[in-house]
Amino acid sequence: MTETIEIVLTGPLPNATADGLDAAFRVYRPFTTADQKEKLDKAAAEIRGVAAGVSHDHLNDAFFDRFPKLEILASCGVGYDHVDAKAAARRGIIVTNTPDVLNEEVADTALGLLLCTVRHLPQAERYLRAGKWPTHGDYQLTPSLRDRSAGILGMGRIGKAIARRLEAMHVPVVYHTRRPVADVAYKHYPNLVEMARAVDLIIVITPGGAATKNLVNAEVLEALGPNGILINVARGSVVDEAALIKALKDKKILSAGLDVFAQEPKVPQELIDMDNVVLLPHGGSASVATRRAMDTLVADNIISWFSGKGPLTPVAETPVKK
């Protein structure tokens, strides 16, 4: 690459990853200073690549309009519902994501969140720290994973990793997807409500976007029942948040463990105030090693594209023509 190629970094990436981009391209970081934003405004017509780092921006037609020469948008994360990939495809823009490198980390988080929710681990720790153990006696008895069955909503790479962990813990697994997954032996439920009736634990790990918006609604929660537990490590949009809050208040379900929310980083105060809910700040993949691998793949996709080798991990909506 002898010419100077200009790209935009929309949010923070670790220094090592950003250094790799700086070595190959002229990089604009409009989220850092007013000066950088002003420079990007002047250079927008020449921008050819976007590295979408950690941000809550929606990258859609209005975003693409700013950059008429844009060729590739490399998004950090396996989910890319914040990117209008169909709009990108219409413009001939390649979109990439970062699959596989975060599978095990997110699966670990799902199991950790599940254990915290079922066994009240955060609540029990708060009880101890508040000095209540000597004065009030042992913490209350908690629900258990024993004699529970789990329904996984979504059976992609991460869903399979979660299922393996549940099997090792002797928790029976079934799943719901639109179509059965060929290499999966677990029982498939084509109807989500029917699966909810058959289990007392649902783990959500399906992609976000319009197709799955509010997929877990009041009817699903009612079917899950008063002993039911909902875990969401997918996208906040998949669960009808208002219906979930009402189900928890009305004791239609027992509890919930949530790593994602409808309007991040805003979390409804009603959820925060509930003691039978465990909340995490969207940290499913947020380990040093996994985020480094994700961010490196963002950079590698852009470097590979402008080296003439094509993208490494293009999304389904924007395949590279052979």
279-316 residue pLDDT tens: 999 999 999 999 999 999 999 999 999 999 999 999 99
Tokens of 122: 């955060």
* Phi, psi of 73, rounded to the nearest 5 degrees: -125, 110
pLDDT, position 56 = 62
Choosing from 282, 291, 292, 317, which is the catalytic residue? 282
Burial of 260 from C-beta contacts in 10 A (0-12 / 13-18 / 19+): buried
- Look up the pTM and report it: 0.91
Q: How many CA atoms lie within 13 A of 151 on its CB side?
A: 26
Burial class for 54, CB neighbours closer than 10 Å (0-12, 13-18, 19+): middle
Q: Which of 222, 235, 241, 291 is catalytic?
A: 235
The type of residue at 76 is C
Report the pLDDT averaged over residues 2-21.
82
Q: Is residue 264 annotated as a catalytic residue, yes or no? A: yes
Annotated catalytic residue within 264, 270, 291, 292? 264
* pLDDT tens by residue, 85-105: 999 999 999 999 999 999 999
Residue 265: is the preceding peptide bond cis (ω within 30°)? yes
271-302 burial: b if 16+ Cβ within 10 Å, else e: beebeebbbbebebbbeeebbebbbbbbbbbb
Look over the chain and give the mean of its residue pLDDT values, rounded to a whole number. Answer: 94
CA atoms within 13 A on the CB side of 86: 3
Amino acid 1: pLDDT: 45
CA triple 63-64-68, angle to 5 deg: 135
Structure tokens at 82: 């914040």
Contact 27, 44 (CB under 8 A): no
Dist CA 320 CA 322 (whole Å): 6
